[in-house]
């Protein structure tokens, strides 16, 4: 681990797991009709990159096949969070303090025992949440589907939600749960926790430990990074809620068809939060207005917190870009966040991540218009951005894509998952020493 | 002029001319059926920003109305080139050397006589080219349309081409001239000359004067700015030619319908060059494949040389962004161009221009999906980017837009025309003194 760079670990890990998964899914007894190699590779890649796009519904897999997908999701999501935490430390980025020193030591001494301790902390946190989530879901689904199916549904969707995989065992995502505040609420809390990133959660827990719960009302006690992620998450979610309500309230294909105002509000809240990585859907995305489709694409492009299960350019990158643009328009020398100057290195990293992301999306979309010229442009763009952000929301187009188009989506999922972080790592190697103390460093990508 | 900033001059100039033009076009006898205020404002704004989008074909205007449009085009195009040259000097940017000193002096002494000399140089250059172009076009069109109509057609299209306005007196742009190498060639040379920028042309002339024609084979004798614009123009045009040929050769709606291979090649060359600002079209843009539509949109976004009649983010901005991304991917501290380091200020300016442009296009497109939800997304996006780049290529959608949508397009044309340069000016005010001699400064936006 010490001698391989994190991007190399990531890319080879995702590729290797995807191919291994494809081989497993090709085995007899995994799928009711049997899968093509391409469909197997697509499903395995989508699972290991926690995207959730699919060319064949998971309900057509056997229990064994669904188990393979679930293991790929857990390895991809949890494994990524772990590697991200390790590489954050290697980059000298902020981690909760006791973990920083623990990890620094661990890495300096090359002690696999210390690294194992970190893995244990993260794994315990993830499994606790997944089991708690599954128990809550089971309250609803065991009575409805019986013990065996109900428990499996609960476990699968809890793991899929915490890892932000967006896979469900139903062909219409979570549409049947749209009116159920318990299940959609539990799934929402799970994917928000997974999508906010381990560094932020670790810091929240540590500060609460030091100062008690009242620390939640004292934002200045947190690192700039953590405040930024939390504030941006809250602000984007509220803005999106207003947008979705305004643009979909009377749409008979989505919210307009729902029975009560409460139901519409619940569904709108879910659809406001899901695009930044989760990918579960309680309405038919293909029926959304063009305006909210475009808005959703912007959210998918932005993504979640760094080092989380989310992809996209990441919240920090997005906020740094916004602040940079504002600073330029005001002729200020540097963007300022919470009274601290954002260093040029951070600004440059953000820009490189965003430009690389846009170039990637443009290239892939351009490729799709060539391999699949007969599909609506907006739908092609929607699937591409969804794959880049490893979100998994879909206009239902993916199964109809040509083999070339499906390969492009596979590549987009892989590059979306590894790309920005890998890029951020490469850039971080050139950070300059001896920077004045007032600077703040944010992890990008 | 000294005490108003160039962006203020620009914006108030375009707004004032647009409104004045709208009032003139509302007068009786300007249009065969009479115009609404909105259509008059749209036409006048499109003319003065040299965009070429229209809600009513120019063939429905009377000769008087067409004359008003032509005057607005000339004022907008030539006026902009002049102000751009002035503001480049104020920014301390490179101009051909004798003009720099002349202008520096002129501005320092606040002498309106010296500024008048610059206006005269630019105007003489423009009028000479426009008259030469009109004469060549008349060789073809006077025999075809008779003296009166033929001369008017020649003059109108020559002025429209040099100013990159993209307006024609025919409802189907230049499609009827697709197979005519003389007319489409003359119009192509006119709009390429106008679109490359006065600074570049001035430097070319000066260097030829100093060193003779062989200087054209000695690129190191030119400033980095000029080499960049010329090389990027040639490279993008060649790449686009290949793209259009590959993507449209067999399309029965465009090249595929043409009689000979030569005709297809001519039309492809024209369509490769026109999107970066000219906006004339020899094929039906709405019939192009989605792939070449997307490619064309990218070209419209990039635009032409700084200080030219072109809008878009500009070639320099685009190249700086590409070089910056490459430098980051290679962990190099700065982008390098022709052995010179591109300064951080230049990089920041490029980024600010590009981000502002993308934010503008996204916002306007988002607005259009709300005001005009029933149109195809790709067509809405095409018209938006065309308006931002003041290109004028169209899917024929503009006349069908709702009043709110037309107002959004008007705003996009105005902001596209003034925005990037205005932004560049604001940013330039914070440039730091005392920069090491190896740096190169490029004008952005
Ligand atoms: K997902
Ligand atoms: K134009």
Q: What is the pLDDT of residues B103-136, one digit of tens each?
A: 444 444 445 565 667 677 788 888 999 999 999 9
Q: With beta carbons less than 8 A apart as the criterion, state whether B413 and B49 touch.
A: yes
Judged by CB atoms closer than 8 Å, whether chains meet at A352 and B294 is answered as no
Q: Round to whole Å and give the CA distance between A157 and A175.
A: 14
Distance from chain centroid for Cα A349: 20
β pairing state of A336-337 and A340-342: antiparallel
What's the pLDDT at B228? 82
Distances (CA, A) of B355 to A304, A318, B326: 20, 11, 18
pLDDT at A248 over 50: yes
| Across A86-107, average pLDDT | 49
Is A317's pLDDT higher than 50? yes
Ligand number nearest CA of A163 is 1
The residue that leads in pLDDT, A203 or B414, is B414
The chain A residues in contact with chain B (CB within 8 A) are 247, 289-291, 293-295, 298, 321, 324-325, 328-329, 331-333, 344, 347-349, 351-352, 355-356, 359, 362, 365-366, 369-370, 373, 376-378, 380-381, 423, 426-427, 429-430
| B47 CB burial (10 A radius; 0-12, 13-18, 19+) | buried
What tens digit of pLDDT does each residue of B139-194 get? 999 998 899 989 999 999 999 999 989 899 888 888 888 788 888 889 999 988 88
Q: Residues whose CB is under 5 A from ligand 1 (ion)?
A: A 52, 164, 166, 279, 392
Mutation target to probe the A interface, by most A beta carbons within 10 A, among B242, B301, B366 is B366
Q: Is the pLDDT of residue A437 over 70?
A: no
Does residue A162 or residue B334 have the better pLDDT? A162
A·B CB contacts under 8 A: 105
pLDDT of residue A105: 47
CB atoms within 10 A of CB B268: 26
User: How many angstroms does the Cα of residue B41 sit away from the middle of ligand 2?
Assistant: 17
Report yes or no: A285 and A275 within 8 Å, Cβ to Cβ. no
Residue A254 with chain B: CB contacts under 8 Å: none
Per the CB < 8 Å rule, is A380 touching B427? Answer: no
Residues 6+ apart with CB under 8 A from A261: none
Residues A391-415, mean pLDDT to the nearest whole number = 91
On average, the pLDDT of chain A sits at: 81
pLDDT, mean over chain B = 81
| Separation CA A406–CA B416 (nearest Å) | 37
Give residue B108's pLDDT: 46
For residue range B392-441, list pLDDT tens digits in order. Answer: 999 988 889 999 999 999 989 988 888 655 654 544 444 343 333 333 33
What is the band of A160 on the pLDDT scale with cuts at 50, 70, 90? very high
CB contact under 8 Å between A373 and B289, yes or no, is: yes
pLDDT band at B4 (very low <50, low <70, confident <90, very high): low
**Tokens 């763009």 — which residue?**
A381
Q: Residues near B91 by Cβ (< 8 Å), separated by ≥ 6?
A: B424, B425, B428, B443
- A176 CA to centre of ligand 2 in angstroms: 51
Interface test with A, best of B324, B344, B355 (most A CBs within 10 A): B355
Residues of chain A contacting B426 with CB distance shorter than 8 Å: 328-329, 331
Q: What residues have CB less than 8 Å from A433, skipping those under 6 apart?
A: none
Mutate to test the interface with B, among A313, A369, A380 (most CBs of B within 10 A): A369
Least confident of A17-21, A152-156, B70-74, B276-280: B276-280
Answer whether residue A108 shows pLDDT above 50. Answer: no
Under 8 Å between Cβ of B405 and B381:
no
């Amino acid at each position: 681990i010490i001698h391989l760079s994190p991007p190399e670990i990531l890319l080879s890990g995702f590729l290797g797991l995807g191919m291994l998964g494809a081989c497993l899914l090709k085995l007899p007894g995994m799928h009711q009709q049997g899968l093509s190699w391409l469909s197997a590779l697509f499903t395995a890649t989508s699972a290991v990159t926690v995207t959730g796009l699919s060319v064949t519904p998971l309900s057509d897999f056997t229990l064994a096949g669904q188990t393979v997908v679930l293991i790929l999701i857990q390895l991809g999501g949890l494994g990524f969070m772990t590697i991200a935490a390790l590489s954050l430390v290697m980059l000298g980025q902020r981690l909760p303090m006791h973990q920083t020193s623990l990890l620094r030591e661990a890495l300096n001494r090359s002690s696999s025992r210390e690294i194992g301790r970190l893995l244990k902390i993260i794994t315990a946190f993830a499994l606790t949440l997944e089991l708690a989530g599954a128990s809550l879901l089971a309250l609803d689904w065991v009575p409805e589907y019986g013990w065996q199916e109900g428990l499996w549904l609960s476990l699968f969707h809890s793991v899929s939600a915490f890892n932000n995989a967006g896979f469900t065992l139903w062909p219409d995502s979570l549409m049947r749960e749209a009116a159920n505040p318990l299940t959609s609420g539990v799934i929402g809390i799970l994917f928000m926790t997974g999508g906010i990133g381990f560094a932020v959660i670790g810091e929240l827990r540590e500060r609460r430990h030091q100062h008690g719960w009242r620390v939640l009302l004292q934002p200045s006690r947190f690192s700039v990074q953590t405040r930024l992620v939390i504030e941006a998450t809250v602000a984007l979610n509220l803005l999106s809620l207003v947008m979705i309500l305004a643009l979909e309230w009377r749409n008979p294909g989505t919210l307009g068809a729902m029975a009560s105002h409460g139901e519409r509000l619940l569904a709108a809240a879910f659809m406001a939060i899901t695009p930044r990585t989760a990918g579960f859907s309680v309405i038919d995305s293909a029926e959304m207005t063009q305006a909210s489709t475009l808005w959703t694409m912007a959210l998918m492009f932005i993504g979640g917190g760094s080092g989380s299960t989310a992809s996209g350019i990441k919240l920090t990158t997005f906020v740094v870009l916004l602040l940079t643009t504002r600073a330029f328009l005001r002729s200020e020398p540097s963007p300022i966040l919470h009274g601290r100057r954002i260093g040029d290195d951070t600004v440059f990293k953000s820009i490189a991540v965003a430009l690389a992301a846009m170039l990637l999306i443009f290239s892939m979309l351009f490729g799709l218009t060539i391999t699949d010229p007969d599909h609506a442009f907006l739908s092609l763009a929607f699937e591409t951005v969804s794959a880049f952000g490893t979100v998994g929301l879909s206009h239902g187009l993916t199964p109809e894509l040509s083999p070339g188009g499906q390969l492009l989506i596979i590549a987009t999922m892989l590059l979306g998952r590894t790309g920005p972080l890998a890029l951020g790592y490469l850039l971080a190697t050139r950070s300059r020493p001896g920077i004045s103390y007032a600077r703040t460093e944010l992890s990008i990508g």
